């Protein structure tokens, strides 16, 4: 047996150390960037960490968080869902139309409608073997068309008398902070519960393992006897329901059902998932990382607002999408490089 | 049994199969013919020059963008950025010929307004191609970057303002009517013919098919796969840039928020209905696919069906068409 010289050993350790740092960066890079961005904001802008700002940022981004959560599961199976923006618009219209009849129908019916669209996506993809990209493109058009038909080509006002509006205004409890109290709003609570359930499902249930198995190697999963079709149908159905829930929140936040809203939401959600670190090839992913991705992309808008408020540099709202795109670019290139080094 | 008999029986066996494959191969064409016949019979004035011109004007930009998309999809990729690239080229052209950047001789300005925006869009296409090849990023994510940032760039360049203009020389590309035919329809046919010829007869065309059919095998066989992929994204960018110019020429104005919006969806749908997939390409199929999508929209609107309902029906037809194509 050959003995290893100390220098060789040290070199090996250094190499694995570097590999470990690369792996850590790939897995937690988004989190590190988020922490840095929050620190930057906190030091530079007054009120950035105030209760009012935190409440608003989290309330607004809860919609995107819900969609990105469902999208994470879809992407982990190796699929994609472009229909979410249309489903959210449809759900917001349904919620507004049903708001006079009380809270329950205005929430349950839209979510069921979203679930149905998701089921349709899943059945067509899993049973008819039509590519997810094309299938969900078609249901995107269909859902948006349905929303326009139901809304009669105009936005629909939410009935303010019934209890529905309280979804956006209600606060479950609040924590006093400088610059106003931090309110845990209902949208935020829904988001937190959804992510907790999503994380549990992915890490501690058979369903979660099956999702990863299907995305990792569909043929192998089939040969192992996993119900591949049923798993795929489930993730699209869940994503449809979550997108609809986001639409219900949209209606509650804006007091309107908006048939034309949600343009490009599907791609923002995909961007958030990718920024979080989930690979589009499926087979791996993390629910928490997606939440980090959503907050990261959401904070860029928030920081832009604060920066304009300072009046030193003035960047129009249009810069938002440029910066988001550049951000996505940096993240995917870094991830790619880091993943390459680890192999 | 003689050899001749065997051959005959083999032919008999494949006959029903062949009939079926005729249906699949020409399914899109048959659908187009049915749509045209229906309109000839039931839509008043369908064959009037004005109606034909409206349809041609509207379908030309979809076909031009979808032709580039066909090549990208044939290599097994996808290009989500085409709508945003249209917005960029549409934003740049008026800036150039209105002399906002540098005052130019009107003739030079108009000439540059054709060349520079298209080249810029081509460069962005190269950017997509480099991300896909050198950085090995999946096409859908790589082109997502410019889908998001591209429209933002166009909006930042114009500050989100509408640029209105009147420049007959430049607008000929969208409003010109040589022999009564919309100029962009002629442009569309030229592009389709050129690309179809390239795909059928040139090595470049074969390489595209080889790349989409089996990338690893193509690489081993010596096909410059990365170069081919970069080329198709550049072509897609150039054609999107051209389409952007046509759209603003028709409108006599450029609105970065609207030019090319949802074009990626129309183009991908046209390619899918036409029957192009990785390793199998049909440029004429894409032309037929785009015509079908345009005619469905037109027919439903002509019959008084609301736009929203038309969209739902359109979606269903795309799904059915792709399902039939996938059964081959």
Q: How confident is the model at residue B10 (pLDDT cuts 50, 70, 90)?
A: very low
Helix (H, G, I), strand (E, B) or coil at B289: helix
Say if A134 is an interface residue toward chain B (CB within 8 Å). yes
> Residues near A91 by Cβ (< 8 Å), separated by ≥ 6?
A110, A111, A113, A114, A243, A244, A245, A246, A247, A248, A250, A251
In tens, the pLDDT along B55-100 reads 889 999 999 999 999 999 999 888 989 999 999 999 999 998 887 7
Q: What is the 3-state secondary structure (H, E, C) of chain A?
A: CCCCCHHHHHHHHHHHHHHHHHHHHHHHHHHHHHHHHHHHHHHHCCCCCCHHHHHHHHHHHHHHHHHHHHHHHHHHCCCCCCCHHHHHHHHHHHHHHHHHHCHHHHHHHHHHHHHHHHHHHHHHHHHCCCCHHHHHHHHHHHHHHHHHHHHCCCCEECCCCCHHHHHHHCEEEEECCCCCCEEEEHHHHHHHHHHHHHHHHHHHCHHHHHHHHHHHCHHHHHHCCCCHHHHHHHHHHHHHHHHHHHHHHHHHHHCEECCCCCCCHHHHHHHHHHHHCCCCCCCCCCHHHHHHHHHHHHHHHHHHHHHHHHCCCCCCCCHHHHHHHHHHHHHHHHHHHHHHHHC
Domain limits for position B189: 29-326
Q: Hey, are the CB atoms on A280 and B138 less than 8 Å from each other?
A: yes
Q: What angle do CA A128, A131, A133 make, to 5 degrees?
A: 135
In tens, the pLDDT along A178-199 reads 767 788 888 898 999 999 999 9
Q: How confident is the model at residue A101 (pLDDT cuts 50, 70, 90)?
A: confident
Quick check: B24 pLDDT over 80?
no
B110 inside domain: yes
Q: Hey, are the CB atoms on B148 and A321 less than 8 Å from each other?
A: yes
Helix (H, G, I), strand (E, B) or coil at B164: strand
Return the number of other C-beta atoms located less than 10 Å from residue B3's C-beta: 7
More reliable by pLDDT, B263 or A18: B263
Quick check: A10 pLDDT over 60?
no
Alpha-carbon gap: B296 to the closest alpha carbon of chain A (Å): 14
Q: Hey, are the CB atoms on A319 and B145 less than 8 Å from each other?
A: no
Q: What is the pLDDT of residue A45?
A: 84
Q: How confident is the model at residue A1 (pLDDT cuts 50, 70, 90)?
A: very low
Say if B7 is an interface residue toward chain A (CB within 8 Å). no
Name residues 289-328 of chain A within 8 A of B (Cβ). 316, 318-326, 328
Within chain B, how many helices (H) and strands (E) appear? 14, 2
Mutation target for A interface from B152, B275, B310, B325: give the one with most A CBs within 10 A.
Answer: B152
CA A71 to chain centre: 6
A36 close to A295: Cβ distance less than 8 angstroms: no
In tens, the pLDDT along A202-213 reads 999 999 999 999
CA pair distance B205, B76, nearest whole angstrom: 14
More reliable by pLDDT, B195 or A173: B195
ipTM over 0.90: no
Largest CA distance in chain B: 85
CA pair distance B196, B145, nearest whole angstrom: 30
Say if A59 is an interface residue toward chain B (CB within 8 Å). no
Quick check: A6 pLDDT over 70?
no
CA pair distance A264, A300, nearest whole angstrom: 17
Contacts of B326 in chain A (CB under 8 A): 128-130
A48 close to A182: Cβ distance less than 8 angstroms: no
Say if A104 is an interface residue toward chain B (CB within 8 Å). no
Mean pLDDT check: name the lowest of A53-62, B101-110, B242-251. Answer: B101-110
Q: What is the pLDDT of residue A233?
A: 95
Residue B206 Cα distances to B75, B76, B194, angstroms: 11, 14, 15
Mutation target for B interface from A81, A136, A142: give the one with most B CBs within 10 A.
Answer: A142
Over residues B245-251, mean pLDDT: 93
Say if B145 is an interface residue toward chain A (CB within 8 Å). yes
B18 inside domain: no
CA pair distance A116, A121, nearest whole angstrom: 9
Say if A270 is an interface residue toward chain B (CB within 8 Å). yes
Over residues B39-64, mean pLDDT: 88
In tens, the pLDDT along B310-325 reads 778 877 877 777 777 6
Pairing of strands B253-254, A182-185: unpaired
Structural element, H or E, at residue B253: strand B253-254
Residue B148 Cα distances to A60, A318, A322, B15, angstroms: 20, 11, 7, 50
Cβ-Cβ pairs closer than 8 A, A with B, add up to 133
Contacts of B311 in chain A (CB under 8 A): 141-142, 144-145, 148
Q: What is the pLDDT of residue A311?
A: 67
Structural element, H or E, at residue B262: none
Quick check: B8 pLDDT over 50?
no
CA pair distance B286, B282, nearest whole angstrom: 6
Give the CATH number for residue B163.
1.10.3470
Say if B151 is an interface residue toward chain A (CB within 8 Å). yes
Q: How confident is the model at residue B27 (pLDDT cuts 50, 70, 90)?
A: confident
Complete domains list, chain A, with CATH: 30-342 (1.10.3470)
Q: What share of chain B is helix, strand, coil (3-state, %, to 5)?
A: 80, 0, 20
DSSP category for residue B180: G
Residue A309 Cα distances to A45, A314, B156, angstroms: 9, 8, 19
User: What are the tokens at A287?
Assistant: 């629910």
B171 close to B252: Cβ distance less than 8 angstroms: yes
B286 inside domain: yes
Q: What is the pLDDT of residue A15?
A: 56
Residue for token digits 């708001």? A99
Residue A304 Cα distances to A37, A49, A307, B14, angstroms: 12, 15, 5, 66
Q: What is the pLDDT of residue B32?
A: 87
Q: Which residues of B264-278 are buried (b: 16+ CB within 10 A; e: fewer)?
A: bbbbbbbbbbbbbbb
The four Cα atoms B242, B244, B247, B249 give a dihedral, to 10 degrees, of -70
Nearest alpha-carbon partner for A80 in A204, A182, A215: A215
B22 inside domain: no
Contacts of B258 in chain A (CB under 8 A): none
Q: What is the pLDDT of residue A340?
A: 59
Helix B27-42 crosses helix B307-326 at what angle (to 10 degrees)?
150
CA pair distance B207, A94, nearest whole angstrom: 50
CA pair distance B22, B29, nearest whole angstrom: 11
More reliable by pLDDT, A4 or A143: A143
Nearest alpha-carbon partner for A45 in A176, A184, A179: A179
CA pair distance B306, A17, nearest whole angstrom: 63
Nearest alpha-carbon partner for A331 in B151, B122, B126, B131: B131
CA pair distance B51, B65, nearest whole angstrom: 22
| Neighbouring-strand partners of residue A185 | A171
Closest residue on chain B to A315 (Cα): B156
B8 inside domain: no
B7 inside domain: no
Q: What is the pLDDT of residue B232?
A: 96
Radius of gyration in angstroms for the set of CA atoms belonging to chain A, rounded to a whole number = 22
B1 inside domain: no
Say if A189 is an interface residue toward chain B (CB within 8 Å). no
Quick check: B31 pLDDT over 50?
yes
Nearest alpha-carbon partner for B170 in B257, B234, B90: B90
B80 inside domain: yes
Q: Hey, are the CB atoms on B323 and A324 less than 8 Å from each other?
A: no
How many distinct structural domains can be found in chain B?
1
CA pair distance B262, A9, nearest whole angstrom: 57
Q: Which residues of B14-30 are buried (b: 16+ CB within 10 A; e: fewer)?
A: eeeeeeeeeeebebbee
CA pair distance A71, B203, nearest whole angstrom: 40
Quick check: B2 pLDDT over 60?
no
Q: What is the pLDDT of residue A60?
A: 87
């Amino acid at each position: 047996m050959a003995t290893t010289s100390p220098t060789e050993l040290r070199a090996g350790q250094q190499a694995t150390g570097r590999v470990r740092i690369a792996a850590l960066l790939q897995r937690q890079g988004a989190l590190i960037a988020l922490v840095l961005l929050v620190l930057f904001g906190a030091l530079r802008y007054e009120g950035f960490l105030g209760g009012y700002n935190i409440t608003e940022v989290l309330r607004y981004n809860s919609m995107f968080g819900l969609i990105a959560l469902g999208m994470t599961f879809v992407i982990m199976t190796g699929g994609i869902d472009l229909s979410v923006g249309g489903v959210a618009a449809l759900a917001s219209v349904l919620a507004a139309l049903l708001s006079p009849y009380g809270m329950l129908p205005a929430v349950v019916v839209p979510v069921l409608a979203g679930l149905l669209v998701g089921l349709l996506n899943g059945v067509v993809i899993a049973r008819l073997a039509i590519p997810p990209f094309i299938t969900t493109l078609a249901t995107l058009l269909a859902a948006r068309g349905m929303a326009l038909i139901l809304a009669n080509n105009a936005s629909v006002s939410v009935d303010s008398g019934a209890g529905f509006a309280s979804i956006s205004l209600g606060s479950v409890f609040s924590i006093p902070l400088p610059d106003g109290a931090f309110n845990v709003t209902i949208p935020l609570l829904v988001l937190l519960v959804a992510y907790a359930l999503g994380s549990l499902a992915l890490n501690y249930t058979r369903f979660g393992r099956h999702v990863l198995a299907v995305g990792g190697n569909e043929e192998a999963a089939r040969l192992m006897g996993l119900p591949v079709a049923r798993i795929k149908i489930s993730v699209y159905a869940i994503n449809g329901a979550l997108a609809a829930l986001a639409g219900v929140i949209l209606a509650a936040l804006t007091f309107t059902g908006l048939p034309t809203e949600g343009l490009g939401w599907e791609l923002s959600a995909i961007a958030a998932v990718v920024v979080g670190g989930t690979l589009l090839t499926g087979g791996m992913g993390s629910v928490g990382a997606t939440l980090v991705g959503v907050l990261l992309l959401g904070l860029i808008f928030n920081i832009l607002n604060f920066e304009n408020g300072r009046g030193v540099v003035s960047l129009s709202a249009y810069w938002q999408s440029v910066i988001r795109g550049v951000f996505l670019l940096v993240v995917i290139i870094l991830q790619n490089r880091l993943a390459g080094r680890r192999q | 049994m003689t050899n001749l008999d065997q051959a005959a029986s083999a032919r008999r066996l494949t006959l029903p199969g062949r009939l079926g494959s005729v249906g699949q191969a020409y399914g899109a064409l048959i659908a187009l013919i049915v749509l045209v016949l229906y309109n000839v019979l039931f839509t008043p004035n369908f064959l009037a020059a004005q109606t034909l011109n409206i349809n041609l004007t509207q379908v030309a930009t979809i076909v031009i963008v979808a032709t580039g998309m066909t090549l990208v999809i044939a290599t097994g990729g996808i290009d989500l950025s085409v709508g945003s690239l249209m917005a960029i080229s549409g934003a740049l052209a008026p800036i150039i010929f209105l002399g906002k950047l540098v005052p130019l001789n009107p003739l030079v300005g108009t000439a540059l307004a054709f060349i520079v925006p298209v080249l810029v869009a081509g460069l962005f296409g190269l950017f997509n191609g480099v991300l896909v090849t050198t950085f090995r990023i999946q096409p859908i994510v790589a082109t997502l970057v410019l889908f998001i940032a591209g429209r933002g760039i166009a909006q930042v360049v114009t500050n989100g303002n509408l640029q209105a203009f009147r420049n007959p020389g430049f607008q000929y590309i969208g409003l010109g009517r040589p022999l009564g035919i919309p100029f962009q329809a002629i442009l569309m046919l030229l592009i389709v013919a050129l690309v179809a010829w390239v795909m059928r007869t040139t090595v470049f065309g074969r390489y595209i098919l080889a790349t989409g059919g089996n990338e690893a095998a193509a690489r081993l066989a010596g096909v410059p796969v990365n170069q081919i992929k970069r080329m198709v994204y550049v072509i897609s960018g150039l054609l999107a840039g051209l389409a952007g110019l046509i759209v603003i020429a028709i409108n006599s104005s450029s609105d970065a928020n609207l030019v090319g919006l949802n074009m990626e969806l129309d183009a991908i749908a046209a390619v899918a209905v036409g029957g192009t997939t990785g390793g199998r390409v049909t440029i004429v199929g894409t032309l037929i696919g785009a015509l079908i999508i345009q005619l469905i929209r037109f027919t439903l609107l002509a019959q008084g069906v609301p736009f929203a309902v038309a969209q739902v029906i359109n979606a269903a037809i795309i799904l059915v068409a792709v399902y039939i194509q996938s059964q081959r």
